Amino acid sequence: MPSEGARRPDETTCANAIFQQPWWLDAVAPGRWGESTVERGGRIVARLPFVVRGRGRLRMLTMPPLTQTLGPWVEPSTAKPANALSEEHVLLAELEAGLPAAEVFDQHFSPTMLNALPFYWQGYRLELAYTYRLAALGSEEELWSGLRSSARSQIRKARTRVEVREDLGLDQLYAVWARMFDRLGRRPPLSLAAFERLDSACAARGARAMLFAQDDAGRIHAVAYTVWDEHAAYYLLGGGDPALRASAAGSLLMWEAIMRARNVTDLFDFEGSMIEPVERFFRTFGARQAPYLRVIRAPARARAALAVRAGALQLAARTRTRAR
């Protein structure tokens, strides 16, 4: 949805996370995203992507599916801290002022952008949430030592029961993932065709891993899908067959995802959850809390719709750990 003739950000810059990249947004929200930008000297120094949902009085500026955070990017400053913060306030205020008219704004900002005061001063509400991150992905031995003993036991058990594969195809991964939503009477947040579009974009950039845990009988116990850029790797989705949950295949796949991530980046983001059992599972891998902000502007009549959407997101988060 960028306006015709608008300057397009460089794919290698203007992002705190893979989710802010134009190619990612093209894949998950084709024709439905736009951005507010600020330029200095003909150069983009700040941008705020958004996805448009609804029309008229129900128009919302929000985030696309399978996108943990969005929010603003501001070019890093080399000025003194006080001056840098002052300039950041100015840029964020300009981004907010440049947003199109909408009834609702609802986004999760990246953990690298904890400044939302200019939004707060304009009447937005700020909520604190947590993801879980594993930083300084060092040696395999150090990471293994950082696991809880229960996680190590689960991984060892799974290794005796399943084989980790990467060659079973996106359609099979999607089928396992979608069945979890079927059992809950819900539709997956992304269709297979949309997921194929996203996977093609990630694969073209060498930015994803697709993992399966399969036993000798050919049964798929669990799946996991991670994406990354130079900043971090993200556990995007996963799940498995509840009837085969005793194999602990989900724990093994999480470990294998971390092992692959350390070859390309130094940070693994579990896309953490505020749901207690999900949080507990992520913590067993040595991950630590990383705060991020949910930034909301919505009249009272729109808050019920936001609550429903938040419930759907929580449901999606629960499905990621049901097969661990």
Identify whether the C-beta of residue 173 lies closer than 8 Å to the C-beta of residue 225: yes
Whether residue 144 sits in one domain with residue 74: no
Give the integer Cα–Cα distance in Å for 230 and 109: 19
Last residue in a domain, options 76, 104, 123: 123
Range(s) of the domain holding residue 230: 133-289
Whether residue 69 sits in one domain with residue 183: no
Give the integer Cα–Cα distance in Å for 44 and 26: 19
The answer to whether residue 306 sits within a structural domain is no
Give the integer Cα–Cα distance in Å for 244 and 100: 48
For residue 245, the one-letter residue type is R
Whether residue 117 sits in one domain with residue 137: no
Identify whether the C-beta of residue 235 lies closer than 8 Å to the C-beta of residue 271: yes
The two three-digit tokens of residue 109, written as one number: 């900002």
Whether residue 101 sits in one domain with residue 226: no
Q: Specify the DSSP element, H or E, that contains 108.
A: strand 104-108
The two three-digit tokens of residue 217, written as one number: 């009988």
Q: What is the pLDDT of residue 278?
A: 84
Q: Specify the DSSP element, H or E, that contains 209.
A: strand 208-214
The answer to whether residue 312 sits within a structural domain is no
The answer to whether residue 299 sits within a structural domain is no
**DSSP-derived 3-state class of residue 130:** strand
The answer to whether residue 68 sits within a structural domain is yes
Identify whether the C-beta of residue 156 lies closer than 8 Å to the C-beta of residue 247: no
Report the relative pairing of strands 33-40 and 60-62 from DSSP bridges: unpaired
Q: Specify the DSSP element, H or E, that contains 222.
A: strand 220-228
Whether residue 142 sits in one domain with residue 63: no
**DSSP-derived 3-state class of residue 320:** coil
Give the integer Cα–Cα distance in Å for 234 and 173: 17
Count of CA atoms in the C-beta half-sphere (13 A) of 31: 1
Q: What is the pLDDT of residue 206?
A: 96
Whether residue 140 sits in one domain with residue 99: no
Give the integer Cα–Cα distance in Å for 296 and 124: 5
Whether residue 213 sits in one domain with residue 281: yes
How many of the other CB atoms lie within 10 Å of CB of 156? 12
DSSP character string of 231-243: S-EEEEEEEE-GG
**DSSP-derived 3-state class of residue 256:** helix
**DSSP-derived 3-state class of residue 61:** strand
- Cα 36 to the center of its chain, rounded Å: 21
The answer to whether residue 60 sits within a structural domain is yes
Whether residue 171 sits in one domain with residue 92: no
> Splitting the chain (324 residues) into consecutive groups of 10 residues, what average pLDDT does each group show?
50 77 97 96 96 87 95 94 94 98 96 96 96 91 95 97 97 94 88 97 97 97 96 94 94 97 95 81 92 92 59 52 49
Q: What is the pTM of this model?
A: 0.88
Whether residue 146 sits in one domain with residue 192: yes
Whether residue 105 sits in one domain with residue 139: no
Torsion, Cα 298 15 87 95, to 10 degrees, reads -30
Report the relative pairing of strands 73-74 and 43-53 from DSSP bridges: antiparallel
Total domains in the chain come to: 2
Can you name the residues that pair with 50 across neighbouring β-strands?
34
The answer to whether residue 316 sits within a structural domain is no
Q: What is the pLDDT of residue 131?
A: 93
- Cα 132 to the center of its chain, rounded Å: 12
Give the integer Cα–Cα distance in Å for 257 and 264: 11
